[in-house]
């Protein structure tokens, strides 16, 4: 597969526009080939990778570094370990038909663990709410495409991981000029930045009026936990590093509207309290195509994800492991307690800096004769 330089640049710029900070680490090493090993028993998606099938996969390293915005020099850096598998199955999740699946696992070091993103804090001394600017750990995979639509896979420790999915997104309708902007982010046909409740998003902003654009009345959270999280923990999602993590996340099924006077069984007006900045829920339809689970342990994140090689969404990248010579290119971005990709615009200087750093990773599939499925 030959990548045309101009189209490759376009795709890289689109990925950059999904980032909001100049110090976001990006892949900077030469082309890495990630091979998906064929297996006959699918792995458990739990962020642990303790099944024997993962031992069959070769480990590939993608180097992540940062440029000093003042000097342009690479500072620091670390390796992301990646593995991939594929298999044929009669179903995974809600899909019940024999088809090929691919699994990708990433492990990277992170000494600054944080899953409280934009939390609300009540201050009884002056009776006001403030919202912090904390980000979260995340990664973004952008699949190269020759069309105007680019398939994005977005995992976020605070927003998607608690519900066990990776957010399936895409970008469309872009223009390339002196002030390049992405016209539209989409999740399952919806605007990526919409925060209207119950519209297939994994998350909604927890504002009191939940409107866009927000106005000066957005001065306290819209919802709180149905029960005191210090006494009755919220429903246990699939993956957590420890039980206390559940006290800083607000799941849709555990939430209720907060009375205007903030009189609840667990937080009176004279109590300090922190309420999560987002309400989390299961994604629907094609935005739920990718099952994912990440676990933080001993200073490392490990994330496993699984997707059918072909989905029902025409905007999704289609993998064909039955083809001996096909390969697929993607760009990997990792954020450490940052807010990308929720902000679209970055400066031209930062854009040029990051574009010079990005190198693609090539995903290939171990070829297995279709007439010999049990190699």
- Whether 273 and 122 have beta carbons less than 8 Å apart is answered as yes
Rounded to 5 degrees, φ, ψ at 176 are -115, 115
CA angle in degrees (0–180, nearest 5) for 86-91-97: 105
**Whether pLDDT at 53 is above 90:** yes
Give the three-class secondary structure for 293.
strand
Give the three-class secondary structure for 50.
coil
pLDDT tens figures, 58-102: 999 988 876 665 666 666 678 899 999 999 987 655 555 578 999
DSSP 246-257: GGG-EEGGGEEE
What is the Cα–Cα distance from 109 to 296, expressed in whole angstroms?
9
Quote the mean pLDDT of the chain: 74
Confirm whether pTM is higher than 0.85.
no
Q: Which pair of structure tokens corresponds to residue 73? A: 């020099």
Rg from Cα positions in the chain: 21
Name the one residue in this structure whose structure tokens are 């750093």. Answer: 357
5-112+135-199+284-365 adopts what CATH topology?
Immunoglobulin-like (2.60.40)
Specify which residues 27 forms β-bridges with: 64
Q: Which of 90-104, 305-319, 323-337 has the least mean pLDDT?
A: 90-104
pLDDT tens figures, 212-255: 556 666 778 888 888 777 776 665 555 666 777 777 888 888 88
- Whether 40 and 207 have beta carbons less than 8 Å apart is answered as no
**Positive or negative: CA dihedral 238, 255, 243, 245:** positive
Q: How confident is the model at residue 209 (pLDDT cuts 50, 70, 90)?
A: confident
What is the Cα–Cα distance from 45 to 163, expressed in whole angstroms?
13
Q: Which pair of structure tokens corresponds to residue 323? A: 């083809």
| Spatial CB neighbours of 242, under 8 Å, sequence gap ≥ 6 | none
Edge-to-edge strands, sheet with 120-123:
128-131, 120-123, 273-275
């Amino acid at each position: 597969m030959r990548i045309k330089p101009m189209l490759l640049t376009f795709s890289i710029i689109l990925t950059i526009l999904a980032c909001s900070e100049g110090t976001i680490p990006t892949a900077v090493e030469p082309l890495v080939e990630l091979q998906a090993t064929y297996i006959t028993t699918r792995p458990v998606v739990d962020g642990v990778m303790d099944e024997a099938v993962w031992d069959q996969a070769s480990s590939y390293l993608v180097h992540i570094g940062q440029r000093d915005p003042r000097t342009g020099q690479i500072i620091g850096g670390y390796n992301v370990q990646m593995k991939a598998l594929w298999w044929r199955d009669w179903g995974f999740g809600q899909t019940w038909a024999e088809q090929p699946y691919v699994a990708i696992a990433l492990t990277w070091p992170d000494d600054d663990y944080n899953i409280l993103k934009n939390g609300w804090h009540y201050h009884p001394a002056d009776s006001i709410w403030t919202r912090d600017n904390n980000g979260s750990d995340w990664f973004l995979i952008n699949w190269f495409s020759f069309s105007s639509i680019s398939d994005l896979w977005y995992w976020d420790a605070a927003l998607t991981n608690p519900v066990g999915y990776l957010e399936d997104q895409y970008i469309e309708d872009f223009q390339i000029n002196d002030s390049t902007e992405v016209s539209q982010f989409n999740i399952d046909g919806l605007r990526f930045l919409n925060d209207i409740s119950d519209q297939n998003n994994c998350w909604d902003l927890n504002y009191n009026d939940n409107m866009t654009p927000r106005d000066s009345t957005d001065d306290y959270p819209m919802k709180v936990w149905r029960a005191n999280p210090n006494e009755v923990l919220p429903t246990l999602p699939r993956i957590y590093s420890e039980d206390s993590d559940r006290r800083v996340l607000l799941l849709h099924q555990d939430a209720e509207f907060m009375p205007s006077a903030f009189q609840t069984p667990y937080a009176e007006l004279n109590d300090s309290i922190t309420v999560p900045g987002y309400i989390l829920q299961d994604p629907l339809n094609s935005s739920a195509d990718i099952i994912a689970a990440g676990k933080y342990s001993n200073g490392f994140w490990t994330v496993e994800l699984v997707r059918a090689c072909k989905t029902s969404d025409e905007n999704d990248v289609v993998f064909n492991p039955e083809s001996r010579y096909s390969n697929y290119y993607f760009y990997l971005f990792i954020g450490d307690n940052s807010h990308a990709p929720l902000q679209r615009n970055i400066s031209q200087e930062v854009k040029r800096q990051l574009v010079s750093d990005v190198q693609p990773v090539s995903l290939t599939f171990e070829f297995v004769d279709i007439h010999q499925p049990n190699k």
